[in-house]
Amino acid sequence: MTDELDTTFTDTDTDAFDYAPLRLTIDLGALADNWRDMKRRSGKARTAAVVKADAYGLGIEDCGSTLYHAGARDFFVATVAEGATLRSYTPEARIFVLSGIWPGQERQVFDNDLVPVIASEEQLSFWMGTVAERGEHPCALHIDTGFNRLGLPLDDALSLASDVTRPASFDPVLVLSHLACGDTPSAPMNKVQLESFRQVSAAFEGIESSLSASAGIFLGPDYHFDLTRPGIAVYGGEAVNGVKNPMRPVAKAEARIIQIREAGEGQTVSYGGTFLLKRASRLAIASVGYADGYQRSLSGSGIPLRKMGHGGAYGVINGHKAPVAGRVTMDLTIFDVTDIPENAVRAGDYIELFGPNVPVDEVAHAAGTIGYELLTGLGLRYERQYLVDED
């Protein structure tokens, strides 16, 4: 792995990227490095890769293939369809489907050698009937240890572990649970769930166990068990609240500036006239809006978050910060470039919305949300460029 990037791109028309109204650059070298970092932090545990939601919005095909070549051999997706897509790019991997299986999905699961994560009594009953008819096939069991989302109740799981009458074709290869407060290391809930999951792990002796996603890995070896499941950290996002994010940024989103206009003191900007100019200003109108996942809550004024005293978002143009002025609209956002030298910004330039100079989680906090939502909410209008490291 070198620091220099190949000048070739995958699945991208370079001219289209150079002149696109919106563009998204995904650094696959950084993605692979982040996964290796989480592998190192996982200690003795094996390290999977979570690629659900189209690899957190960045492309399951390219990201999945990159992580596979980096060494990942266990993958987690949300749906059977995602697993079927991933299979062609990860031929020897185990692919776990977190939403499990329902009638009608059997052929897709078996043909693509997917591992359904059984998460309810209904799914358990259906799956036992399926393997009794079709023969042995691996599955995983999701146990609820306090999250109250998916998962078999703890007592039911412990009873299942000791049930000598369960069919021999029922062959779980993994038991897993999920932390509710892993991103807050001091939360008492973490230790409560850890103790419950230790009971599960002991009851299913001989079967691998998995408790930690990205945040849980940072909690230390007690939480690692046999397999960790990093997601957001691999994509460069913040996994733990209140500490500096150690991961490399992976995605850079940019919008082209369509126009730069002059506006006078006392004039207003964007819908509702909520942003009053206190000086003569220069405004850059960029081709991005809430239809592209640049949320309306990032607006510089006229929304509840700003009235509560939270600052709005900003972008970076040629190394200079530019705050959002007024409300974000469907296809356009206005940035105040008054403090940027005139020769440093012009129509046709690109403004970085998030990336190396504008951390995705900082933008998310301005919107009152988390980096996960910004990444997975990217719209369809971004022209994509995948950077690959030279071998």
**Active site residues per annotation:** 52, 271
Q: Distance between CA 25 and CA 102 in Å, rounded?
A: 36
- The dihedral through the CA atoms of 373, 374, 380, 386 has a sign that is negative
Are 227 and 46 spatial neighbours (Cβ–Cβ below 8 Å)?
Answer: yes
Place of tokens 């009608």: 104
Among candidate residues 88, 26, 28, the one with its CA nearest the CA of residue 391: 28
Place of tokens 């696109």: 20
Place of tokens 């059977």: 80
Q: What are phi and psi of 101, to 5 degrees?
A: -145, 145
Q: What are phi and psi of 377, to 5 degrees?
A: -95, 5
Cα Rg, the chain, nearest whole Å: 24
Element (H, E) at 307: helix 304-307
Residue 281: how many other CB atoms lie within 10 Å:
18
Among candidate residues 198, 206, 200, the one with its CA nearest the CA of residue 222: 198
Residue 145 token pair = 């240890």
HSE-up of residue 121 (Cα within 13 Å, Cβ side): 5
Q: Could you give the 3-state DSSP secondary structure of residue 204?
A: coil
Q: What is the DSSP string of 123-137?
A: HHHHHHHHHHHH--E
Q: Could you give the 3-state DSSP secondary structure of residue 216?
A: helix
Tell me the Ramachandran region of residue 4: left when phi exceeds 0, alpha when psi lies from -120 to 50, beta otherwise.
beta
Indicate the Cα dihedral angle 174, 180, 186, 189, nearest 10°.
Answer: -80
